[in-house]
Amino acid sequence: MIAIVGRPNVGKSALFNRLVGRRIAIVHDEPGVTRDRIMAEMEWKGRSHTLVDTSGIGLAAGEQAADALERAALEQVELAVASAQVMILVVDIVQGLTPLDEMVADRLRRHGKPVVVAANKADHEGLDGDCAAFDRMGFAGCLPVSAIHGRGMGPLLRAVVDRLPKGVKGAEPAGGEGQPPMKIAIVGRPNVGKSSLTNALVGDQRVVVTPIPGTTRDAVDVPFELVHGGVRERYVLIDTAGLRKRRRVDDSIEFYSVKRAEESVQRCDLVVMVVDAESGVLEQDKKIGDLIQEHRKPCVVVVNKWDLVAPLVAAARKKGAGKAPRHGAAKPPPATLAEFGRWVQEQLFFLDYAPVVFASAASGYHLDRLLDAIRFVGAQMRQRVPTALLNRALREAVERRQPPSAAGTHLKLFYATQVDTTPPTFWLFVSRRELWTPVYGRFLASELRKAFGFEGCPLVLVPRPRRSGHGK
> Peptide bond before 298: cis, by omega within 30 degrees of 0?
no
Cα separation, 330 vs 314, in Å, equals 21
H or E stretch covering 239: strand 231-239
- Mean pLDDT for the chain overall: 79
Measured in Å, how far apart are the chain's first and last C-alpha atoms?
62
pLDDT tens, residue by residue, 84-138: 889 899 999 998 999 888 888 888 888 888 899 999 999 888 888 888 889 888 8
Cα separation, 275 vs 304, in Å, equals 6
Residue among 29, 15, 24 nearest 116 (CA): 15
pLDDT tens, residue by residue, 213-250: 444 445 577 778 888 777 888 888 887 765 655 554 45
pLDDT tens, residue by residue, 381-431: 889 999 999 999 999 999 999 888 887 788 899 999 999 988 899 999 998
Q: How many Cβ atoms are within 10 Å of 51's Cβ, its own excluded?
A: 23
Query: What's the Cα-to-Cα distance from 146 to each of 1, 39, 159, 250, 276, rounded to whole Å?
Result: 22, 21, 16, 30, 44
Beta strands in 297-372 (DSSP E): 299-304, 356-358
Beta strands in 32-153 (DSSP E): 38-44, 47-53, 86-92, 115-120, 142-144
**Is there a contact between 169 and 47 (Cβ–Cβ < 8 Å)?**
yes
What pLDDT shows up at residue 324? 45
**Is there a contact between 336 and 318 (Cβ–Cβ < 8 Å)?**
no
pLDDT tens, residue by residue, 142-161: 999 999 899 999 999 999 88
- Residue 7: band (very low, low, confident or very high) from pLDDT cuts 50, 70, 90: confident
What pLDDT shows up at residue 178? 59
What pLDDT shows up at residue 249? 44
Domains contained in the chain, CATH given: 2-162 (3.40.50.300), 182-381 (3.40.50.300), 387-465 (3.30.300.20)
Q: How many Cβ atoms are within 10 Å of 369's Cβ, its own excluded?
A: 14
- Residue 168: band (very low, low, confident or very high) from pLDDT cuts 50, 70, 90: low
- Residue 298: band (very low, low, confident or very high) from pLDDT cuts 50, 70, 90: very high
CB burial string 122-159: b at 16+ within 10 A, e below: bbeeebbebbeebeebebeebbbbbbeeebbbeebbeb
Residue among 370, 216, 390 nearest 206 (CA): 216
What pLDDT shows up at residue 328? 45
Residue among 116, 196, 226 nearest 365 (CA): 196
For a pLDDT cut of 90, what percent of the chain falls above it?
24
- Residue 327: band (very low, low, confident or very high) from pLDDT cuts 50, 70, 90: very low
DSSP structure string for 26-39: ---SSTT---S-EE
Q: Is 227 helix (H, G, I), strand (E, B) or coil?
A: strand
Residue among 191, 193, 223, 189 nearest 206 (CA): 223
Cα separation, 423 vs 348, in Å, equals 19
